[in-house]
Chain A
């Protein structure tokens, strides 16, 4: 059964820093990997989806990488801003989405 782990569970950085969020999964037989953002009391917003045949995807200041062989994905956020404060979730897609526990990010002005 797929297990997805996210490290760290919480992260606090000053504005402007570049940061990396980590996601690991136990079963490499996935279709793709998806990164989401969840704001307090809100739903999930899809940030990036990396197909299993791809190595990375970029959207603005966000870059997500995928290494299926090692069971890892990273989300890189460049020049962090207070508006980036949220919980970031990764999810591996086999026949269904399996979510990690999330990383709570706080970017301080």
Chain B
């Protein structure tokens, strides 16, 4: 059984479009994350949600909006896509967590976004 899953695996779209990436975890974790891995392979945190509440929001354009309908899901919606948004986006989850503690994170397989 897949612990952290993402859809789609690949996403190719035109500049200016709006797109969403979905993430689901079946581990019963309370905290979910979105990371961006750029072309140089650097991984950086974008958002962190604990029990459906935003707890970390790094410097990310407000075109990116995470949405957590429940504890098991954290979707990433991106408006007005730009060329620089092309990257691999990873979802992750952990037990507990929050801004003042850390627990082991489990990552999804990634979504490769290409903006043309």
**What is the distance, in angstroms, from A91's C-beta to the closest C-beta of chain B?**
8
Question: How many A-B residue contacts, CB cutoff 8 Å?
Answer: 52
Contact B41 A97 (CB under 8 A): no
Contact A43 B104 (CB under 8 A): no
Q: Mark A53-65, 1 if CB is under 8 A from B, else 0.
A: 0000000000000
Chain B, 20-65, CB within 8 A of any chain A CB: 33, 40-45, 48, 56
9 nearest interchain CB pairs? A93-B102, A44-B107, A31-B102, A99-B43, A43-B109, A43-B107, A95-B99, A96-B45, A43-B110
Residues in A whose Cβ lies below 8 Å from that of B42:
99, 101
In the complex, residue of chain A having the shortest beta-carbon distance to the beta carbon of B104: A49
Give residues in B with beta carbon < 8 Å to A.
Answer: 4, 33, 40-45, 48, 56, 90, 92, 99-102, 104-110, 112
How many chain A residues touch B (CB < 8 A): the figure is: 23
Interface majority SS (helix, strand, loop, mixed), chain B = strand
Residues in A whose Cβ lies below 8 Å from that of B104:
34, 46, 49
7 contacting pairs across A/B (C-beta < 8 A): A31-B101, A43-B4, A45-B107, A46-B105, A95-B102, A97-B45, A99-B43
Q: Which of A32, A36, A41, A44 has the most CB of B within 10 A?
A: A44
Contact B106 A46 (CB under 8 A): yes
